[in-house]
Chains A and B, each alone.
Chain A
Amino acid sequence: MKKNKLNTPSSTALRFLEWFCPPQLYEGIEGDLLEQFDNDCREAGERRAKWRLLLNALRFFRPGILLRNKFSTSLTGTSMISNYIKVASRNILRRKLYSFINAFGLSTGIAFSILIYLFIQDERSFDQFHVNKDRIYRMKGISYEEDAKKQQRFQSMSQMQLALASVMKAELPEVEYATHFCGSHGTLQHEEKIFKEQFTYVDADFFKMFSFPLLRGNADKIFQGKDEIVLTPALAQKYFGHPDVLGKTLVLNGRELTVTGIIGAPPANSSLGFQALVPIQGWSSYNQRNLDEWRNMGFATFVQLHANGVPEDFQTKLDLLTKKYMRDIVQRWREEKSIPAEYEPYTISFTKLPDIHFEKEIGWEKVSDPQYSWILGGIALLILLIACINYISLSLTTSARRRGEVGIRKVAGAYRKQLVYQFGVESIVLALISMVIGIGLVMLFLPAFNTFTGKAIGLRSHDGISLLAVTLGITLLVGVVAGCYPALFLSGFKPVQVLRGTFTAKLQAGFTRPLVVLQFALSAFLMFSSVIMYRQMRYVTTKDLGYDQHQIVIIPMQIRRGENSRRILEHFRQQASAHASVVSVTGTDYPFAGDDGMIFGYTVNGEPKSSWGYTVDPYYIKALGIQLVQGRDFDADNPADSVKTIIVNEALVRDMKWKDPLNEYLQYHGRDTTQGARVIGVVKDFHFLSLTQDITPMFLSMEERLNYILVKINGKSIPETLEQLRKYFIAAAPGKPFEYQFLDENVARQYQSFDRWMNIMGLSTVFAILISCLGLFGLAGINAVNRTKEIGIRKVLGADLYNVFLLLNKQYVWLSLIAFVLAAFPAWYAMNAWLASFQFRIEINGGLFAAGMLLTLLIALLTVSYHAIKAALINPAETLKYE
């Protein structure tokens, strides 16, 4: 029907309307729209009228209209569905390589998405299992930090005042329950079983607030007294051999405790972790001094508000509470740090229990950055998209084989719509197969994924349904998205042309080329990053730290207050030195490679300075192979060395601007005004901190007590040596558990999180390369198909395999070069940012990038060669006989 009207409205709007509008209503609606358009033209001009028409047409896209469609077409389609599935499976089976490649690409994408879904799900499930999760809060103190370099002006910490819990409960009507949650460790003994264990000191309210199941015992009666302990089943098993241990006794640090409850171990997605709970009232830190002094903080505190408690009111009252108890302290801090009036030096606030996991500014067990979830989600989406587009380009490559089928079907009376359904079904079938493989991959990779991410995700049955739903959803989405374009393309063949045999389709897949470049750029980016990360980690683990970290056994002496550690050490040394495998024995207060250690702050000429101070014994420097550059070592035969004598490192000398350090004294005890300790030696700088930090001032002294024995062994028959050391230790320190670590392992552990990211990157790189190779493979295939005849003619004219190979592969060299250029800068930038967290790092140099580029090129060429060689080997008679 010809449209005869004065103005021509935008026909797209009307075509869209025609598409979704039920045909019986269409004419009336269209007429009304056109009439309104004419009116608008007269009143507001043609331009605005067109806009209004579009807007009005779009407004008809609503359920009231859409649902009036009769969905009959899809019903007639279903009668053919069994045939579609049959044809699909035959096709899949006939072309095994292509099906495999397709299924591989899709299943990788699906598997990755499932893993990342599980990860995000796990992140979000943290602490959600507590019934009262919306009423439980962790207290935090927010203090003003004067460090001008940092952007963040305030620092939050979860260490609170000891008295806060009881004061809040007594004075604030909102607070229903309050408990401390303080981790500590000590030795636990039952008969001959002695081990060092982690303890958590809590209050009786703990059992009423949190939803950890109390397997045995009565929540209302637990922790009425001081000498009680609640164990997890695993710990009960460890000490008693069975879980039914109510009323039995254990000795903790010399105190006898009665087991009054068995509590279920916290799940992996709990921010609160514990093995044994002990009432805080029995702790040595729970004393009057700490209760009275509001400057002493170090006790994590949780509260539960009443059901009608308003958090805002709670905050207001907390502010009043802070004023009441800490006015003078806060005032003094304000003066000391000269804090401007607009900032509050210290406020007490709180965080909702489920939010603890993501509050990354407060150090807490398992705390995590919500950004990871977003980044991983983005990666999953990207991988899915890439897998879909690879599927598209691969199906286009092989579309030539389906031409005949499409022609016959059309001649036999198939509508285009039916063909679209057919190819859609085919891709969905393939997606479903991929889903099965993908689930298999998930199961295969879940343990590795858990190691990488430090999680304990399992395919639990209770969330199986939602997981299955998500998986199916992803699969169908992938099937539809991937199948869409090939279905439209394949069903568009004209039967007459196809069946006459002269049809040559130029495959239009313009979008695959930029996509392949993008994929390759991504792979190259990941490859660069992995290589640089790997190099840095190798550098970190092999760098000479300035001392000998290898073959040193660390034995904690488990010293309690008032015990003489030096005597134990001497006793141990006498026996152990005689052993053939022991090179030397020494002691220290804190071994390096941990965050533990003492930092002393002092003032020199009005300038605040600080320095790490380690307590050692006279054999320490020799045992660790630390280099002495000036002066002398501690002398074991000279008792005078054990007081007011220190050996400093070069960084301290520089920091103090000493010309002649051996004639200097250091007063490292803050306000003490005496001369201080005499410097007898200077050691060469060594990395006692992790390589993420610069070497800071440090000194060694012999004044404080020792906590650890370090044994240098010669590395022969280590298990036997350790067994010997155990015997010596038990003889020297009866009743103490023997534990050991290796110094080099501790050193390596400092880089655990970097290591984890390196592993994740490595895995992603492998996947990215595989997937982008698929993409390139598809693109090369499309290209080879398009040029089949050209190659035939060239061969007839005398081109050999080499020429054809060159002809087809030239462009991929360019593609991979572009990809490389695209990837190089972001990789350089990102890796510089990553390396910046290390104070000591490798240089990113051109050679690294050149190697990366060569590798990219090689992978690309390997991938595309299959098609090039195949195309070059076809007998030209085959391709040209129809011309």
Chain B
Amino acid sequence: MGKEYLGEFEELVLTMVGVLGEDAYGNAIVSEFKERMDRPVNLSAVHVTLYRLEDKGLLKSRMGGATNARGGRRKRIFSITNAGLATLRAMKESRTDLWKLIPQLKFS
């Protein structure tokens, strides 16, 4: 992509959506942050980031089915688009390339 840069939090949220697959919605991402990264994040921050990523075309969203658990409210399920996946991949590769350039790192 090149012209659009993602912030650290944006990148993480994007990745989380990818990780969670069919069950990626606001709360799930918050608890995923808590479990996997031990990082407390605020729901509103996650929501705002999700909408921003959707604006950028890296995510798309649809309303899921109604359940009883959340007062009958439907979930807004996010899924990663091809563009989002490409961005993630490009970021990861450029990181790895950079990583290799660090000379003094030795794993021994």
| Bound form: Cα–Cα A649–B33 in Å | 90
Whether the Cβ atoms of A28 and B25 lie closer than 8 Å is yes
Closest to A2 in B: B72
**Shortest distance between the CB of A44 and any CB in chain B (Å):** 14
**Interface: B74 (CB within 8 A):** yes
Residue interface mask B61-89, A partner, CB < 8 A = 1: 00100001111111110000000000000
Q: Do A31 and B52 have beta carbons less than 8 Å apart?
A: no
B70 touches A38 (CB 8 A): yes
Q: Are A31 and B73 in contact (CB under 8 A)?
A: yes
Partner of B44, one of A5, A31, A65, A68: A65
Q: How far is the CB of A471 from chain B (nearest CB, A)?
A: 38
Count of chain B residues with a beta carbon within 8 Å of a chain A beta carbon? 22
In the complex, which residue of chain B has the Cβ closest to the Cβ of A8?
Answer: B71
Q: How far is the CA of A59 from the CA of B52 in the complex (A)?
A: 17
Cα separation A53 to B80 with both chains bound (whole Å): 29
CB contact between A32 and one of B47, B48, B52, B63 (< 8 Å): that residue: B47
> How long is the Cα–Cα vector from A68 to B47 in the complex, in angstroms?
12
Contacts A28-B25, A28-B63, A35-B27; is A4 near B71 (CB within 8 Å)?
yes
In whole Å, how far is A26's beta carbon from the nearest beta carbon of chain B? 9
* Cβ B51 vs Cβ A30 within 8 A: no
- Which of A32, A33, A34, A56 has most chain B Cβ within 10 Å? A32
What sequence of 0s and 1s flags, for each residue 55-68 of chain A, a beta carbon within 8 Å of any chain B beta carbon?
01001101011001
In the bound complex, do residue A59 and residue B44 qualify as a contact, i.e. CB atoms below 8 Å apart? yes
B69 / chain A contacts, CB cutoff of 8 Å: 35, 38
Closest Cβ neighbor of A33 among chain B residues: B43
Name the residue on B nearest A1 (C-beta): B72
Residues of B within 8 A of A459 (CB): none
Do B74 and A32 have beta carbons less than 8 Å apart? no
Within the complex, what minimum Cβ distance (angstroms) separates A204 from chain B?
59
In the complex, the answer to whether A62 meets B71 with C-beta atoms within 8 Å is no
The answer to whether A35 and B70 touch (CB under 8 A), given A28-B25, A28-B26, A28-B75, is yes
* A-contact 0/1 string along B1-43, CB 8 Å cutoff: 0000000000000000000000001110010000000000011
Known: A59-B43, A60-B44, A65-B44. A31 touches B70 (CB 8 A): yes
Q: Are B70 and A68 in contact (CB-based, < 8 A)?
A: no
A3 at the interface (CB under 8 A from B): yes
Q: Take A3-B71, A4-B71, A59-B42 as given contacts and tell me if A28 and B48 are in contact as well, using a CB distance cutoff of 8 Å.
A: no
B63 touches A62 (CB 8 A): no
A5 to B42, CA, bound (A): 23
Tell which of A27, A32, A38 touches B43, judged by Cβ atoms closer than 8 Å: A32
- The A629-676 residues at the B interface (CB cut-off 8 A) are none
Q: Of all chain B residues, which has the CB nearest A59?
A: B44
Which B residues touch A3, using CB under 8 A?
Answer: 71-72
Q: Which residue of B lies closest to A4 (CB)?
A: B72
Question: Does chain B have a CB within 8 A of A398?
Answer: no
Q: Which residue of chain A has the shortest Cβ distance to B69 in the bound complex?
A: A35
Bin chain A's interface residue count.
Answer: 20 to 34
Q: In the complex where A36-B27, A36-B43 touch, is A4 in contact with B68 (Cβ < 8 A)?
A: yes
CB of A446 within 8 A of chain B? no
Complex Cα spacing A671 to B76, Å: 96
Cα–Cα, bound, A30→B26 (Å) = 11
Residue in B25, B48, B71 whose beta carbon sits within 8 Å of that of A5 in the complex = B71
User: Measured between C-beta atoms, what is the minimum distance from B45 to chain A in Å?
Assistant: 8
Residue among A3, A25, A31, A33 having the largest count of chain B Cβ atoms under 10 Å = A31
Partner of B76 from the list A5, A28, A68 (CB cut-off 8 Å) is A28
Closest to A25 in B: B51
Please give me the residue from chain B that is nearest to A32 by CB atom: B26
Indicate whether A56 sits within 8 Å of B72 (C-beta atoms), given known contacts A27-B63, A35-B27. no
Residues in B with CB closer than 8 Å to A32 are 25-27, 43, 47, 70, 75
Complex Cα gap A36–B71 (Å): 11
Report B-chain residues with C-beta under 8 Å of the C-beta of A34.
Answer: 70-71, 73
Interface of chain A residues 9 through 39 with chain B (CB within 8 A): 25, 27-36, 38
A291 to B68, CA, bound (A): 93
Q: Which residues of B contact A4 (CB under 8 A)?
A: 68, 71-72
Across the interface, do B75 and A31 meet the contact criterion of CB distance under 8 Å? yes
A390 to chain B, nearest CB (A): 41
**Contacts of B43 on A, CB cut-off 8 Å?**
32-33, 36, 56, 59-60
Beta-carbon contact of B48 and A64 below 8 Å = yes
Cα(A25)–Cα(B45), bound, Å: 14
- Please give, as numbers and ranges, the residues of chain A lying within 8 Å of B75 by CB-CB distance: 28, 31-32
Distance (whole angstroms) from the CB of A360 to the closest CB of chain B: 49
Closest CB of chain B to A845's CB: distance in Å?
A: 65
Give Cα A243–Cα B72 distance, bound, in whole angstroms. 88
Selected contact of A29 from candidates B26, B63, B72, CB within 8 Å:
B26
How far apart sit A64 and B25, CA to CA, in the bound complex (Å)? 18
A28 touches B44 (CB 8 A): no
A62-B48 contact in complex given A31-B70, A32-B27, A34-B70, C-beta closer than 8 Å: yes
Inter-chain contact A60/B74, CB cutoff 8 Å: no
Compute how far the CA of A34 lies from the CA of B69 in the bound complex, rounded to whole angstroms. Answer: 9
Cα distance A3–B72 in the bound complex, in angstroms: 7
| B69 → chain A closest CB, angstroms | 6
> In the assembled complex, which residues on chain A have CB atoms less than 8 Å from the CB atom of B68?
4
- Which A residues fall within an 8 A CB radius of B? 1, 3-5, 25, 27-36, 38, 56, 59-60, 62, 64-65, 68
Q: Which B residues fall within an 8 A CB radius of A?
A: 25-27, 30, 42-45, 47-48, 51-52, 63, 68-76
**Given A28-B47, A28-B75, 7 more pairs with CB closer than 8 A:** A25-B51, A25-B76, A27-B63, A30-B73, A31-B73, A32-B25, A65-B48
> Nearest 9 CB-CB pairs, A to B?
A31-B73, A28-B76, A64-B48, A32-B26, A59-B44, A31-B70, A5-B71, A35-B70, A34-B71
